[in-house]
Structure 1
Amino acid sequence: MLPTDASTDAGTARATRLGPGSSGPGSRTGTGSDPGAGPDGEDTLDLRLPDELIALFAGDTGFRDGNSAGSTAGSTAGSTAGSTAGSTAGTRTWTPGGTQGVVPGGDDLLDRVGGWGPVRTPAGVLHLVPVRAERDLPLIHRWMNDPAVAAFWELAGPESVVEDHLLRQIDGDGRSVPCLGALDGIPMSYWEIYRADLDPLARHYPARPHDTGIHLLIGGVADRGRGLGSNLLRAVADHVLAKRPSCARVVAEPDLRNTPSVSAFLSAGFRLAAEVDLPDKRAALMIRDRSLRDLL
């Protein structure tokens, strides 16, 4: 997946990925397809892939055109280094009553992110809406071309660059789900929820079964640097733990150079577990433990 260090509060914290760039398509760990094993050599895979291709996540919870002039085109969760270019005036407003798609038969690798429902945060109600490229590409493309975001996500350029990055996840096996974060109905952040234990990241730390990773990008400049990223990161991390009973830890790997992002994760109740050398960066391995969430 993309790196999680597009700054969370002061910049766009991009989703950490193993490819080029801490959160962009080339560097992100969550985008990788090879399951990994921890340094101790133990196999971290405890699930087999479903017999059928994981269906596309529900994206029909539609957006309707609106004039939310104050809506900021999302800032990277925890201000991942490189938050996207400003707020989206006239952004589309998410309608909670929209039609939800259904994942047929069985389960997927992330317990159906599209059906998790809203989560309350100090800043408002946040919905994680699985991305639909045909609907969301222009907005995400605009964010990725913000210089502050591009520095870490490395997805700047024509729409095709961002589209390829999204489709690799949407058309993949379900181990990574790209989402828009709609805060009180306004799309303002981009998230990637991924199976860290099935990601190339697992080769670089002692992964445990069902470890779940987070990448966040806050799109609007006005949403950065005021603690919003930390609030969203904490809420979403705890939402992951609530919706995935088999997951004991939520992890992230922001670039160590992205001080605002690392700080946002710490403020959100993550602990700095280690510094790890990934193919594209030296990262801070951040972990939020289920057992410690009431203490941090």
Structure 2
Amino acid sequence: MSPTDASADAGTAPVTDAGTCTNPGPAERRTAFDAGPSAADADPVRGSDADPAWGSDSEDTLDLRLPDEFLALIANEAADTGEERCGEERRGEHGMAGPGSAARARGDLLDRVADWGPVVTPVGVFHLVPVQAEQDLPLISRWMNDPTVAEFWQLSGSRSLAADHVHAQLAGDGRSVPCLGVLDGTPMSYWEIYRADLDPVARHYPARPHDTGIHLLIGAVTDRGRGLGSALLRAVADLALDKRPACARVIAEPAMRNTPSVSAFLSAGFRFSAEVDLPDKRAALMVRDRCLRDLM
């Protein structure tokens, strides 16, 4: 569960709670692998999304390794539908390769972030490009050592700290994909797109199957405070909803004290849902709902 959104730009928007909405279909159907967390070790959640039934007993699978049979099934289905490709992904104008073949062999729990492609935004053409560790780590480590970023991500210091953080995701089962944000051909931000319903954060809010989470930092000081963060957050949240049909919500959990980040999410069409106590911070649970995306 990474610290979130250290350097999104500040925006001004009222704190609102638009309530919850339902999206019938695949996103609402639980399986043995998408089951919600147990209430046994969940912290209290305050806000409109709190679920009175959350205290019911259910098996907690969040920290269990996904069974090999399940991962093999995902890989086989992808191959059968022509989604698997050999070799590394071409990474657009930035010219970097996509996730390693080992991660692909275990399946893709996020509907192939590498294939989401570029999107036109009000601030330029933006592309989420999965990290290639050896090439991208010097840049990511430099960003992590920015004082503003370090305050929230706590990965400043030697490059090995950022390397361990990124490698853990690249070597995982695909539930979190670290990316560079490339704007008009220039890497300028770091993102983590993750399955919030399969992440330990799901213990602390009423997670729904296929909830997609976002972590973000804006690298350069000159890119902060001028609307970039809000525009890109909206673009990436909408990409996740467009490319992941089973996902009904995109969520984030910036620190409550990170006012610029919370404001950026509000300006990007997220709603403030609740305050949650996470192990490392008091967080604002921000939600962008599929069924409200045209209204916010």
User: What TM bracket, shorter-length normalisation?
Assistant: 0.7 to 0.9
Q: Deviations over 1:103-147 (max 9, x none)?
A: 867841101111111111111111111001111000000000001
Higher helix share: 2
Change (3 A) 1:57 1:233: farther
Measure how far apart 1:7 and its partner are.
2.6
1:61 aligns with 2:82: no
Instruction: Supply the distance in 2 between the matched residues of 1:5 and 1:282 (Cα, whole angstroms).
Output: 14
Deviates more, 1:36-45 or 1:121-130: 36-45
TM-score by length of 2: 0.74
Q: 1:205 touches 1:276 (CA, 8 Å); kept in 2?
A: yes
Instruction: Supply the distance in 1 between the matched residues of 2:248 and 2:60 (Cα, whole angstroms).
Output: 14
Partner of 1:223: 223
Identity of paired residues, percent?
Answer: 66
Report the residue type matching 1:263 in the other structure. S
Q: 2:107 touches 2:174 (CA, 8 Å); kept in 1?
A: no
1:142 aligns with 2:136: no
Q: Deviations over 1:15-37 (max 9, x none)?
A: xxxxxxxxxxxxxxxxxxxx861
Measure how far apart 1:288 and its partner are.
0.1
Instruction: Supply the distance in 1 between the matched residues of 2:267 and 2:87 (Cα, whole angstroms).
Output: 31
Instruction: Supply the distance in 2 between the matched residues of 1:163 and 1:101 (Cα, whole angstroms).
Output: 15
Show the 5 A alignment for 1:68-217. 94-95=94-95, 107-217=107-217
Higher strand share: 1
Partner of 2:280: 280
Report the residue type matching 2:90 in the other structure. T
Measure how far apart 1:5 and its partner are.
2.7
Show the 5 A alignment for 1:45-60. 49-51=70-72, 60=89
Instruction: Supply the distance in 1 between the matched residues of 2:98 and 2:166 (Cα, whole angstroms).
Output: 22
1:268 aligns with 2:268: yes
Instruction: Supply the distance in 2 between the matched residues of 1:206 and 1:180 (Cα, whole angstroms).
Output: 29
Change (3 A) 1:2 1:58: farther
Measure how far apart 1:99 and its partner are.
8.5
Instruction: Supply the distance in 2 between the matched residues of 1:135 and 1:280 (Cα, whole angstroms).
Output: 30
Change (3 A) 1:101 1:282: closer
Change (3 A) 1:201 1:57: farther
Report the residue type matching 2:265 in the other structure. F
TM-score by length of 1: 0.74
Instruction: Supply the distance in 2 between the matched residues of 1:180 and 1:58 (Cα, whole angstroms).
Output: 20
Larger Cα-atom Rg:
2
Unaligned runs of 5+ in 1: 12-34, 64-92
Report the residue type matching 1:61 in the other structure. R
Change (3 A) 1:45 1:235: farther
Give the total of aligned pairs. Answer: 244
Report the residue type matching 1:172 in the other structure. G
Instruction: Supply the distance in 1 between the matched residues of 2:127 and 2:61 (Cα, whole angstroms).
Output: 29
Q: 1:59 touches 1:114 (CA, 8 Å); kept in 2?
A: no
Instruction: Supply the distance in 2 between the matched residues of 1:215 and 1:58 (Cα, whole angstroms).
Output: 27
Change (3 A) 1:124 1:44: farther
Change (3 A) 1:104 1:267: closer
Change (3 A) 1:43 1:266: farther
Unaligned runs of 5+ in 2: 12-34, 40-53, 76-83
Q: Deviations over 1:83-110 (max 9, x none)?
A: xxxxxxxxxx6149x7898786784110
Q: Secondary structure at the match of 2:148?
A: helix
Partner of 2:239: 239
Q: Secondary structure at the match of 1:8?
A: coil
Instruction: Supply the distance in 1 between the matched residues of 2:167 and 2:261 (Cα, whole angstroms).
Output: 26
Measure how far apart 1:293 and its partner are.
0.1
Q: 2:270 touches 2:288 (CA, 8 Å); kept in 1?
A: yes
Partner of 2:15: none
